[in-house]
């Protein structure tokens, strides 16, 4: 199921129920890139070193699609029933909210996604807006300054 900002609230209870009733879930992400040009891949790296390198690289790129597939065993059918959810996510881009976000892309990743018919217009126009914890704190500080009221987290 495709999840965008326009149907997020409608899909959220369906998604929550699917996760709560699942026997297991699978998660997949699409990012604007995978590896920094300065980061070499050394296949002799141990698991921890490889993870550390990938973690640093991944922090420089945006997650633009977050996929979750729930699997529930069906006794009547004798198979697992899969329910996929694809969340298009994109920073709010509203300077009055939390500032304008700059991010990094790998041209090879963009070309790969385009070749897989990834809809970048849908991402930018319909992606579910989000903020980092730092952006959310900044947003709350600005709201408190404007309104004089302390508000809770989003």
**Residue 24 is part of a domain; what is its CATH number?**
3.30.420.10
- pLDDT tens digits for range 59-104: 889 999 999 999 999 999 999 999 999 999 998 776 666 667 788 8
Domain for residue 100, yes or no? yes
Domain for residue 153, yes or no? no
Interacting residues of 56 by C-beta distance below 8 A, sequence separation 6+: 36, 39
| Total structural domains within the chain | 1
CB atoms within 10 A of CB 100: 10
This prediction's pTM: 0.80
- List average pLDDT for each run of 10 residues in the chain, which is 154 residues long: 97 98 97 78 85 81 96 98 98 69 88 96 94 83 79 58
The burial of 87, by beta-carbon neighbours within 10 Å (0-12 exposed, 13-18 middle, 19 or more buried), is given as: buried
**Which one, of 6, 5, 14, 9, lies nearest residue 85 by Cα?**
14
pLDDT at position 113 is 96
Rounded Cα–Cα distance for residues 64 and 29 (Å):
8
Which range marks the domain in which residue 54 is found? Answer: 2-147
pLDDT at position 42 is 79
pLDDT at position 97 is 63
Domain for residue 47, yes or no? yes
Rounded Cα–Cα distance for residues 8 and 126 (Å):
10
Domain for residue 154, yes or no? no
Report the SS3 class of residue 3.
strand
Domain for residue 62, yes or no? yes
Domain for residue 125, yes or no? yes
Domain for residue 58, yes or no? yes
Domain for residue 37, yes or no? yes
């Amino acid at each position: 199921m495709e999840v965008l900002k326009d149907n997020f609230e409608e899909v959220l209870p369906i998604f929550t129920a699917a996760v709560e009733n699942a026997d297991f879930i699978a998660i997949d992400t699409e990012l604007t890139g995978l590896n920094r040009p300065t980061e070499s891949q050394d296949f002799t790296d141990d698991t921890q070193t490889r993870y550390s390198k990938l973690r640093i690289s991944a922090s420089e790129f945006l997650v633009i699609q977050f996929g979750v597939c729930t699997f529930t065993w069906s006794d009547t059918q004798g198979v697992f029933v899969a329910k996929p959810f694809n969340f298009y996510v994109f920073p709010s881009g509203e300077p009055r909210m939390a500032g304008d976000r700059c991010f990094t892309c790998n041209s090879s990743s963009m070309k790969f996604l385009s070749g897989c018919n990834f809809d970048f217009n849908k991402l930018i126009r319909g992606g579910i807006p989000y903020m980092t914890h730092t952006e959310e704190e900044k947003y709350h500080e600005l709201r408190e300054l404007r309104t004089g009221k302390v508000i809770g987290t989003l």
